[in-house]
Structure 1
Amino acid sequence: MTSSLEGRTILLLSSNFGTERDEIRRPIDALREAGATVTVAATEGGTVRTLVVDHDPGPEVPVDTTYDAVQAGDYDAVVLPGGTLNADALRTDATVLSLVRDIAGAGKPVAAICHAPWILLEAGLVDGRDLTSVPTIRTDMVNGGGRWTDQEVVRDDSHGHLLITSRTPDDLDAFNAAIIDALS
C-alpha cells in the first residue's frame, strides 16, 4: 500500500534543548506514519532533550543532522516545533532563518506551532499573513504585521507559499492533518 506522503521529505528544525515533547514527537510520528521521510536537524548532533510544558524533562529525540549540513532544496516542507526555549534559540540562529526563508521562497509549506511563530517573525514571514500561535506571543505576531486569530490551525497561502500555524499541543491532531493534507 502506498502512503500519502511516500517520497516526500520534511525538514524538522529543533534546538538541542527545550523543545516541547509532543510538538516534536507527534509531528515526526504522524508524518512518518503517512510515509514521509522526516529529517531532524539541530545545532549539534546527538539528541534533542525535550521538555514537557517548558519545565519537566521529556524523552530525548535522535538528531539526524545539523542545520549547516542541510540544503533547503532537498526538502518539500519545514516543520518548526515549539517550546519557549527552543523557539527562542532558533529565532536567533542565522542558519535556521536562512533555511526557513529559502524553503518559503521556493513556494514550499512552512509549519509552526506554539512559540515557533517567533521564528517566522524573525525570518520576515509574518507581515500581512493570517496566523495563530500560543496566545502569549499574540502581541509579537500583531506587532510584526500578522493577523492573529485564536484558532486550532490557520492556513495562509497568500504570499507564494503555504503557512500553517497552530497554538498548542492540544491542537496537534489538526496541525499534523494540515501538514499531511498540504503535501498529499
Structure 2
Amino acid sequence: MKKILIPLAKGFEEIEAVTNIDVLRRAGLDVLTAGIGSREIEGDHEIKIETDIEISDVNAEDFDAVVLPGGMPGAANLRDSNQLRNIIKKLNEDNKLCAAICAAPIVLEAAGILDGKNATSYPGFDKDMTSCNYQEDRVVIDGNLITGRGPGVAMEFAMTLVEYLLDKETKDELEKSMLVKNN
C-alpha cells in the first residue's frame, strides 16, 4: 500500500488538508499526517487537527508521496521547515510524487524542485515561484509534480492525486460513490 505524507503547520487551509486526507484514505492509501512543531495544529480558520506524528519522526524513505495543503501562514510555515524541505528533496530525487495546492507550491520552490517545471498556485504566489513555468490551470501535472490553484479546486486536486497514485478506474469509482460528478 502506498504511503502518503501530509504535513500540517499552523495556519493551514482546512478544506485542502481534510479533503486530501479524506479522499486519499477513501482510495485505500495509507495517509499519515505530520505536524510542524507540534502534533496539535490549528488551521487558518481555527479548526484544530491532531496529527499522527511530528515532522521530526518522518523518514522520507518510508513514503511514496508528499501532499502539501496551502493556506497562510500555513504554507509559509511549511516552507520554513528545514526537515520538510529535505523530505521533499529526497522524494523528488527518488521521482516520488510531490504535490502542493494553493500557496503551498512556494514550499516546492523553496525546496528547489520547480526549476523549469510547469506549476500553478493561488493567484499572486507566482511572484514567489520564479524558477517554474507558471500556469493558471486549475491543476497542473509535470512529471512527479502536481500543483493546484486553491480551496475551490481541492476535490479535483485530490482526485488527480488518486489517479496518479493508483489508476483512473479507482478515481472514477470514487467520484461516482462520492457524487463528485452527475453521471
Please name the residue that 2:148 is paired with.
Answer: 166
Q: Which residue of 1 aligns with 2:86?
A: 98
**For 2:40 and 2:19, how far apart are their aligned partners in 1?**
16
Partner AA of 2:51 in structure 1: V
Q: Secondary structure at the match of 1:176?
A: helix
Equivalents in 2 of 1:173, 1:14: separation in Å? 18
Q: CA deviation at 1:24?
A: 0.6
Q: In the aligned structure 1, how far is the partner of 2:39 from the partner of 2:77? A: 17
Shift of 1:46: 3.0
Give the one of 3, 8, 11 matched to 1:9. 3
**1:79 alignment partner AA:** V
Look up the SS of the partner of 2:152 in the other structure: helix
* Aligned equivalent of 2:34: 41
Contact 1:48–1:61 (CA<8 Å) still a contact in 2?
yes
Cα drift, residue 140 of structure 1? 1.9
In the alignment, which residue of structure 1 is the partner of 2:108? 120
| Percent identity for Structure 1 against Structure 2 | 33
| Structure 1 gap ranges (5+) | 1-6
Is the aligned partner of 1:67 residue 2:47?
A: no
Correspondent of 2:77 among 68, 71, 89? 89
Distance 2:128 2:38 in 1: 31
Inter-partner Cα distance in structure 1 for 2:67 and 2:6: 5
Q: Per-residue CA shift, 1:117-141, capped at 9, x if unaligned?
A: 1101110011100010001111222
Root-mean-square deviation (Å):
1.1
TM-score with structure 2 setting the length: 0.87
3-state DSSP of counterpart to 1:41: strand
In the alignment, which residue of structure 2 is the partner of 1:4?
A: none
Which residue of 1 is the match for residue 174 of structure 2?
A: none
The answer as to whether partners of 1:44 and 1:65 remain within 8 angstroms in 2 is no
What is the number of residues matched between the two proteins?
A: 166
- Are the counterparts in 2 of residues 114 and 167 from structure 1 also a CA contact under 8 Å? yes
CA deviation string 1:70-107 (max 9, x = no partner)? 11110110000101211111111110100011111111
Q: Matched residues in 1 for 2:36 and 2:128: separation?
A: 25
AA paired with 1:46?
Answer: R
